[in-house]
Amino acid sequence: KCGVSEIGQELLLESVTKVQYLNAASLASKTAKPLDRLPIPKLRLDSEDLGSGPPSELTLDESFLPKKCRNGNLETTLMQREKLNVSTAYKTRYILKTNQCLIENFYKVLKISDWNAVASNMIELMEPNFDYLHSHLNFQKHVSVGRVDQEIEYEDCDNIQESLKEIKKSFQSPSFISSTPNNSFNALTSKISSSPKVDSKVDSFLESFERTAGENVSDYNLLLNNSMIMLSNIDIQEEVPRNKSSETQNAIEGFTNESQNSPIPDLDEIKTKLDQEEFSQKNPIITEARKAGILNQIEEINLQLLEAMTQQKPIVLKVRKIKSWHDCTMSNDVLSPKETNIEMKSISFGNKLSEKTFTIVTVVLCEIYKMLQRNLTCTKRELYYRDVELFKSQVNVNKALDTICSMLNVQEFELGIFSSSKGLVAGDLKVIIENETFDCSTTTQMIPQNPSAIKNFETNANYVLIVEKDTVFQRLISDNIFQRIEDRIILITAKGYPDVNTRIFLKKMSSILKLPMYIIVDADPHGFEIMCTYKFGSMMKVRNSEQLAVPSIEWIGIHPSDIEGQDIVKCCLSEADLKKVDELLQRPYINCLMQLFNYNQ
């Protein structure tokens, strides 16, 4: 909708051009394996766009083509295919087969650094292949041409089947398997290569896939696309020699030299430009070691998914399940997840109900992976806007992030994801972030979006006062509270239920300044719950309670018990309020409060 930027067009053009060269190089080899010889029809560029063009000896083995498409007329073949309603399931099969080969070849042949740019175009580049393969695989099936079902028959079914067998064999060929197992890329490709061969199980898998994926097949392609992006991002330390014919080798070298001399813009330069344009903020928080650890975890997850795909195993993400307060306990005066009886929930692509969630999680995971690699950050909202059509709602992005944080056992800010802050702070406080200082004594400041990046605080305050509502906060300031009371104070509100940033901010203040902290909330169930969220943490973020909850916060003001016996007009609790009270009483921190206030029961 926004159009492709000039830089984007250049990247696209470059990757398309290079794939042309790649295919030309593969095709040039007479001894190449059948898969290498799979003819890849012209994409959108004419031969003159390719600079020196494909090698002159380029020929296609027409025995691969249906009889009616022979005579070297690939254009006719393409036109023929465009009419076909291609079975997306077969596309999937083809992606499974070719992603390893393509990625490997991409690396071997293209000495370029911006893998994202290339990999994101892979699916599109492979489209003609899908159609091509489809015309082979589907020869006995009905295909829909417009509204009419037609049966397409080819005279050389046996030949095609033999060819397909060869293709299958080539995928299990040892030459695909790395000889240097320490190399992550090679380990990855060899795992895929050594997966059980594609056999009759594929058909049942595809049937179930077609059934379950249905209209959502684009999600599946998206998933695969993401997998490939992540695969292609893996850092490759060394090159593995392959048994290439000298002709192929020459063609590849010729291409490589050619590409180095070509007027195509420098990719690093483009990448820098993109960084400057797309993102304004670098992630200053996470250490390189931590980042590498998280990237490894994501790669491992991706690898498991790919293995599951190639082996026709269930494609499932396993996440630790914290569904109710029974899964939480108290540890060091804050909420923490129970370590026993851990239940895992499954997000399965094969499950019709969860495949959408699955897709969203993998897409978000892919975005996170790319951002971590480029050391960038964004807000949850920005993440949502990257694919509104897929995410549908901000809630889905938030849930996916929770899932990912649970899977990786990290906090959102470690992934470079921040929420918009809603908290406010005013009073005797200077906040030092990187080289900037925010002075809260002169004007009310928003809680920073990345409170984890705070380096230090400067204050002479005696204590911190947290209030529930923005209206109270504003009222206190307009009443000049800072002048009217003797103590120097820091005033904070999160405008209702505290957001994560405000809680991190308070935790940081608590650990650095060690000031007393007091909170005033409504003396109703919701006020109580808000207080508890500050003090003990929440169920949703129970894994991060240590970084979020501030148990030293003291609840002051009027407590419900203060009203008992007083001559005060009491408001009756509504049915919903009473329900809330019952629910609150089930929470693990109630005992802590009982002890604090010396209740016997």
- Residue 519: name the closest of 560, 480, 559, 464 by CA: 464
| Binder among 62, 499, 559, 581 for DNA (CB under 7 A) | 499
**343 scored as a contact of DNA (CB under 7 A):** yes
Question: What would the two tokens of residue 95 be?
Answer: 């992606």
Burial code of 174-185, b = ≥16 C-beta within 10 A, e = fewer? eebbbeeeebeb
Residue keyed to tokens 């405008």: 495
**329 scored as a contact of DNA (CB under 7 A):** no
Question: What would the two tokens of residue 334 be?
Answer: 């804050």
Q: Which is nearer to DNA, 191 or 321 (CB)?
A: 321
DSSP letter (8 states) at residue 3? -
- Distance from C-alpha of 395 to C-alpha of 380, rounded to nearest angstrom: 10
Q: Which residues contact 478 (CB under 8 A, 6 or more apart)?
A: none
**469 scored as a contact of DNA (CB under 7 A):** yes
- Total chain residues near DNA (CB under 7 A): 44
CB 507 within 8 A of CB 548: yes
CB 148 within 8 A of CB 178: no
Q: Which is nearer to DNA, 54 or 423 (CB)?
A: 423
Q: Which is nearer to DNA, 396 or 441 (CB)?
A: 396
**495 scored as a contact of DNA (CB under 7 A):** yes
β-partners of residue 347 are 317
Q: Which is nearer to DNA, 10 or 522 (CB)?
A: 522
Question: What would the two tokens of residue 197 be?
Answer: 């061969």
State which of positions 543-582 bind DNA (CB under 7 A): 576
Shortest distance (Å) from residue 372 CB to DNA? 21
Shortest distance (Å) from residue 359 CB to DNA? 9
* Helices 267-278 & 6-28 angle (0-180, nearest 10): 140
Shortest distance (Å) from residue 367 CB to DNA? 16
Residue span binding DNA (CB under 7 A) among the ranges 54-62, 222-230, 427-435, 469-477: 469-477
Residue span binding DNA (CB under 7 A) among the ranges 15-23, 218-226, 236-244, 495-503: 495-503
State which of positions 392-431 bind DNA (CB under 7 A): 394, 398-399, 419-420, 422
Shortest distance (Å) from residue 71 CB to DNA? 47
- Distance from C-alpha of 202 to C-alpha of 204, rounded to nearest angstrom: 6
**297 scored as a contact of DNA (CB under 7 A):** no
CB 371 within 8 A of CB 379: no
Q: Which is nearer to DNA, 463 or 497 (CB)?
A: 497
**37 scored as a contact of DNA (CB under 7 A):** no
Q: Which is nearer to DNA, 49 or 583 (CB)?
A: 583
Question: Which runs of consecutive H residues, i.e. helices, occur in 69-216?
Answer: 74-82, 88-109, 115-119, 122-137, 157-171, 184-193, 200-213
E strand residue ranges, 440-500: 445-446, 454-458, 463-467, 489-493
Q: Which is nearer to DNA, 226 or 357 (CB)?
A: 357
CB 259 within 8 A of CB 16: no
- Distance from C-alpha of 260 to C-alpha of 253, rounded to nearest angstrom: 11
DSSP letter (8 states) at residue 341? S
Binding mask 360-389 for DNA (x = CB under 7 A): --------------------xx--------
Looking only at the bridges linking them, the beta strands covering 517-520 and 463-467 are: parallel
State which of positions 506-545 bind DNA (CB under 7 A): 522, 526, 533, 538-541
Q: Which residues are catalytic?
A: 385
Q: Which is nearer to DNA, 434 or 479 (CB)?
A: 479
Shortest distance (Å) from residue 495 CB to DNA? 4
**291 scored as a contact of DNA (CB under 7 A):** no
Residues forming contacts to DNA in the complex (CB under 7 A) are 321, 324-325, 343-347, 350-354, 356-357, 380-381, 394, 398-399, 419-420, 422, 468-472, 495-500, 522, 526, 533, 538-541, 576, 583, 586
